[in-house]
Chains A and B, each alone.
Chain A
Amino acid sequence: MVVNQGMLHCEQVWREISNYVDGDVDAALRSSMEEHFRTCQRCASVLAGTRNVIQLYGDERMLEVPSGFSRRLKKRLTKDAAVKGSGWSSWSAWLVPVAAIVLIAGGLKLANTFTFRNLIKSQHAMPANNIPPDLVVVVSSGSKIFHVPGCRFIHDKASERTLTAKQAIEEGYFPCTRCLRQYLKTGLTGHRGAVVADSGSVEEQEESAEVLSVAGR
């Protein structure tokens, strides 16, 4: 260890070596330290090593991230901050409550359309599924149920009237749970009145869809 070299001890040099590398020492100290490094190999070695450490760790290549880091970060930003896509901005922030009101109102409307108005209380009258629109059915007064001709659950047979399933549904009738059981595949939860026949032609499918819309109304 060099003692009293250039008026500086090695310990004094080590104490200031970090500041020296950062250029954070005054001119007089810098000059003394430079003199010391010229004559003290050990301190010169400490200086070189310190500079190497700073250079190596200051390299961008030392900043490694785990595999998939960028993908996960982007996903998180997209998910939690609407960073990708339209998102919201300050000038359009007022749209948020408006959108919420529209959504709530729309939701209520939909719920009303598909649930409340279609809720059928009688277990003997449920919307059908895949019922052929041109199936011949009969209805009678005093009931909102349509039947296959000859069904023994037809009330007031004297007032029987014959029509197609499509017409019956349009008039607000629901299929009999006995004679038209095969079309009641949706059960009690199927209150959407899906009446889509398994027909081959596009026209028939469109017609069935039309019946569906009538039934669901």
Chain B
Amino acid sequence: MSEPSMVLNNPGQSAAREQDLILSVQRGQNELFYELVRPYERRVYAAALAILHNEQDAEDTAQEAMLKAFANIRQFRAEARFSTWLIQITVNEALMRRRRERTVVMEGIDRRDEESEYAPRDFADWREIPSEALERKEVRQRLAKALGALDRKYREVFVLRDMEQLNIQETAEALGISVASVKTRLLRARLMLRDLLAAGWEQGWFSRLPFEKGTKPW
């Protein structure tokens, strides 16, 4: 399976630098740990948020996951991707927290939906959305809102696969579900998000450019 072209495996630091940092922390240079994990802090938070759907819980869990990663850094092996290892720890922490706090939604309700096929509802002519659209807070907020509208099981698979850039197998392992379930949920998540965002696309708020510099809209 090919990785998506927009994979951002290691933003902000080279793989070699990351390996150096890992070795240094493993040898006891604890003060370098934050430098090691800093490029991933947003991904860690997003993974926790996808599962817990609560900002405060997600932040607490992100911190707990970082502490756990620090405590277990000597068990990390170079053949794994550090980012994946970190995200898997985070997902595990978040799932444990959810179990602890008994916020599990009844699975039976969703199972029927997963088994039935999802048919796209909107067939508007989507063109490529310029990446500049994401500079606008309004667009990011609308995307986040649409993601938040998904059922938890679709949201967490989508976030791990398409935002955290885990592959299908890694996503399945992190969530403790089968590869087939990951694929089914991912398909539905992508199609549902597409439908949820279609209205925005038709109204043009993806492509609407902000007013020019130096001018005011009033």
A residues neighboring B (CB under 8 Å):
11, 14-15, 17-19, 21-24, 41-42, 45-46, 48-66, 69-70, 72-74, 76-77, 80-92
Contact = CB atoms under 8 A, between A and B. Distances in A.
B187 interface: yes
A82 B32 CA distance: 11
Contacts, number: 177
A49 B193 CA distance: 9
B115 interface: no
B59 A69 contact: yes
A18 B118 CA distance: 12
Interface in B145-182: 147, 158, 162-163, 165, 168
Given A73-B62, A83-B30, A55 B163 contact: no
Given A52-B126, A65-B42, A90-B28, 10 more contacts: A15-B187, A19-B187, A24-B168, A46-B194, A55-B129, A62-B46, A62-B144, A65-B59, A69-B41, A85-B31
- The 4 A-B residue pairs with the shortest CB-CB distance in the complex, in nearest-first order: A89-B28, A87-B30, A18-B187, A63-B42
A76 B59 CA distance: 11
Contacts of B133: 56
A57 B147 contact: yes
B120 A65 contact: no
A64 B194 contact: no
- Chain A interface SS verdict (over half): helix
A66 B49 CA distance: 11
B108 interface: no
A14 B67 contact: no
A67 to B, nearest CB: 11
B188 to A, nearest CB: 9
Contacts of B55: 66
B193 A59 contact: no
B197 A66 contact: no
B186 A77 contact: no
Interface string B105-138: 0000000000001111011111111010111000
Contact of A63 (B34, B46, B118, B186): B46
A65 B41 contact: yes
Contact of B1 (A15, A22, A46): A22
A70 B126 contact: no
Looking at B6, B67, B163, B194, which has the most chain A CB atoms within 10 Å of its CB?
A: B194
Nearest to A92: B28
B33 A64 contact: no
A18 B126 contact: no
8 contacts: A18-B183, A18-B190, A22-B2, A48-B128, A53-B194, A57-B162, A60-B42, A77-B66
A57 B59 contact: no
A73 B63 contact: yes
B34 A49 contact: no
Interface in B177-209: 183, 186-187, 190-191, 193-194, 197-198, 201
